[in-house]
């Protein structure tokens, strides 16, 4: 029997369930039923996180990308003259903005 195949379920004596027996899965590596249940719970939690957290994070990344692109485009279209920035004031303000954004993304 290969290491990844499941053995057929077997009843456990002395344990009462709805039908008087509890069927448990045992892997060829002889993992305990508690380890199998822990893996199932971990997989369920991972699926739940993937389903809800991943789309939100993708939207935030998209907004961040669009935001960075719009600042560069606005600077080339005359934003610096509209808000009366001189010399490297735009570069300094963007440097502070990028630093703040990097710190905020870490938390």
Successive 10-residue mean pLDDT values, the chain, 107 residues: 52 50 57 87 92 89 82 84 86 84 73
pTM comes to 0.47
Q: Is residue 72 exposed (0-12), middle (13-18) or buried (19+ Cβ within 10 Å)? A: exposed
The answer to the question of residue 16 being in a domain is: no
The answer to the question of residue 26 being in a domain is: no
The predicted pLDDT at position 87 comes to 82
Domain limits at 88? 32-106
The predicted pLDDT at position 107 comes to 57
Phi-psi region of 90 (alpha: psi -120 to 50; beta: other; left: phi over 0): alpha
The answer to the question of residue 8 being in a domain is: no
The predicted pLDDT at position 46 comes to 92
The answer to the question of residue 84 being in a domain is: yes
The predicted pLDDT at position 1 comes to 45
The answer to the question of residue 14 being in a domain is: no
The answer to the question of residue 25 being in a domain is: no
The answer to the question of residue 47 being in a domain is: yes
Domains: count for the chain? 1
Helices 33-76 and 89-106: crossing angle in degrees, nearest 10, is: 170
């Amino acid at each position: 029997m290969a290491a990844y195949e499941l053995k057929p379920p077997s009843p456990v004596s002395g344990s009462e369930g709805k039908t008087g027996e509890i069927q448990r899965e045992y892997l060829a590596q002889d993992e305990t039923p508690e380890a199998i249940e822990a893996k199932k719970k971990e997989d369920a939690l991972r699926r739940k996180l993937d389903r809800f957290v991943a789309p939100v994070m993708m939207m935030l990344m998209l907004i961040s990308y669009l935001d960075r692109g719009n600042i560069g485009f606005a600077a080339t279209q005359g934003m610096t003259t509209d808000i009366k920035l001189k010399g490297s004031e735009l570069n300094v303000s963007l440097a502070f903005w990028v630093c703040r954004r990097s710190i905020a993304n870490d938390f």
